[in-house]
Structure 1
Amino acid sequence: MPIEVAAAPNVDAETREEYRSLYRKILGGLGEEANFIVVLTGGSEPEILAAAGDYNIILAWPHYNSLPAALEASAALKEAGRFAHVVQLEGPGAEPPRDKLERLLRVVDLLRRPPRLGLVGSPNRWLVASWLRGKPDVVIDEGEVYARSVERDGADVAERLVKGAERSDFSARDLAPIAAYAKALAERASGLDGITLGCWCFDFEEVRKRGWTPCISLALLNDWGVTATCEGDVRALYSAVVLRRLSGRPSWISNVNKIYDWGLLLTHDGAPPSFGKYAVVPRMATKAAAALRVTVEPGRPATLLRVSGDLKRALLLRGVTAEGERVEACSTQIAVRLTVGSGRDVLRAGLGNHLAFVLDDVYEEARLYLEHLGAQVIP
């Protein structure tokens, strides 16, 4: 791990090496994604710039004008197009919050390795504002995935899903083809950060032929570590992948079905089972197998994101899950009380329907990432 020390010219070599050795121990095991620069004093700005790489985490404290020097140098690095973020410590030798550093390194990893996305089939016809510049990276033939799924056995996964449900309107045998389809999708997603599926959820003839819809397939994939979203919405998939990689937890996308003064009501089928207690219920409209009605307990942190097609704007919200009403819509319905942003911002942003979200607070990390890309973050 690159660890540099920056100080005023009058600071001797022995002191510099003392702090370099100390922070090498403190930061041990964090990985190689970024340069760490420990700022000892003011007047160190030229040394900070000389030690900097493309991705920099600068550690500074309130004493000896360390923090002012870090802020000045950070501004210069950002203006030069390099990533720089200042973390304030309590004083010389103090340990930084490791969780914060780990999340910052996820930001750096996301910048160094941009999301690779796959589109299975083609976007559903009602998606008219869901393209994303330069994406997808891979287009996957849906018929090929379906053919592979027929050769897979999903009984084991289906049995666990039914066993874990509060209630199931379908047997494990009913759900086995859906689980097999998830396995086939997971195989084709190898090497990708995520996939989005143009699905047949409202194609009554296709539902009649297959006897099921893939909502639960996608829900399973998200709990297996593959970000998977529906309808072929590449913009929403990108947003979900960003949140997943920053958090390390499953993300999902939902329709914005109602806007309140205090927040949003999000609805969709296919939320990951790990989000909460769940029931297996018929799909809306077609009544086919199957959807998950997941109940998310109130009070959980949430970060919500949707990017524009050119990545020049991004709607980024923070909130907590709340008690909410039910409306005539998809099975999983989650109310979010917003603490950063408002329902009006969703209307003003005008970036489309699906909001990606993760049940975690990664708002600051997502903002850092988006701003480094040059996006205007709303609000």
Structure 2
Amino acid sequence: MTQFTVIDDNGATRTIEARPAPAFVKPTHPLTSRVAYAAAHVVPLAWANNTPGQPAQVDWDATIGFRRMIWSWGLGVADCMDTAQRNLGMDWAATAELMQRSGAAAREYAEHEGWGRSVADLVSVGVNTDQLEPDGDYTLAQIVDAYLEQLDVCEQAGDGPVIMCSRHLCRTARSAADYVKVYDEVIGAAKQPAILHWLGEVFDAQLHGYFGSPDWHEASKTVLDIIEHNPGKVRGVKMSLLDADSERYMRAMLPEGTMMLTGDDFHYVDLIKDSEQDDPKHGGQAVMHSNALLGAFSVLAPHASAAIQALDRGDEAEYLRILEPTQALAQQVFVHPTEFYKTSVAFMSWLNGHQPAFQMVGGLQSARSLPNLSRVVELANDCGAFEQPELAAQRWNALLAINGIK
């Protein structure tokens, strides 16, 4: 019998029996009812100097292999996002290489196994300004130039662009109009429609007041102005405020043809399914849903795929049966301090055999405690998130033993 040892906050241990992996089946054609991206992390070279402040040294074989796994489940990959440790270990040189390598791998996958999906369907990447000095003072024009430099790398790689929130813009902008000006220039230069990424300060405290206001109602007006100024050039909005009400409001306000992609790892089960809600634009009620761009889906790719396959068949009950049990795990992965959720993502990747060691660039594997990770193990086991339960138990129990816990 395979068992996990689990530990609580007081150091007490007990054992739980490992559950078998669910018998999910990979799709043989594109998912149709929802657009779904899993925000993927990067795998470091286990022997390299990936310590705080050092340039990232990436295990490219394992990193691209993880992306191929996600594609095989019919999901797209959101790359070079905060899950890939933007502003927390990934320097611009490594990020640019990741854009290029992911784009090349997506082109190869699309040619041989992509079921007609485009490169942008397979991989969309974050375009930011993090090549600038973190504490430097920059003009709006310099921030635009930084965005455009990254956009050029993105487009040369063939990736779809996701315009990320910029710490530099947040620090420099003095009004909502400054945001509109910068985004208009960047989106206007893009050769294909972009996704706008609205990352809340729960993920990054330096983004307080982004889009011109700490109040999401006011900030949403800025986002809608940007979309209105750029007809046909904004593919969607990815909201990561961990506030389901703000997302429901915003998706109702989006113009036709602009999709909402939930980044709410606390409430995605309800947000992705069809639900009746207030329609502030037209009045009354309407049935709406969000698509997905989620860090949680990099932990739960088989579940996400199987659940959307159920929606493709019109079987909402099966969707809920598959995905509802995963919500508690995602909430634990993204527990406060939320910015360190990436540690649990890499931890689950290691337990599932997708990387050889529990390490991260920047040494970020130390950002969660053993009791915290133990709770991840328990909830992952509860919802069947271990693809190889025996391997997961072996690795986790060995990690505890190395730390003197038996």
TM-score above 0.5, yes or no: no
TM-score by length of 1: 0.29
TM-score by length of 2: 0.27
Q: Which has the higher contact order (CA 8 A, sep 6+)?
A: 2
Higher helix share: 2
**Higher Cα Rg: structure 1 or 2?**
1
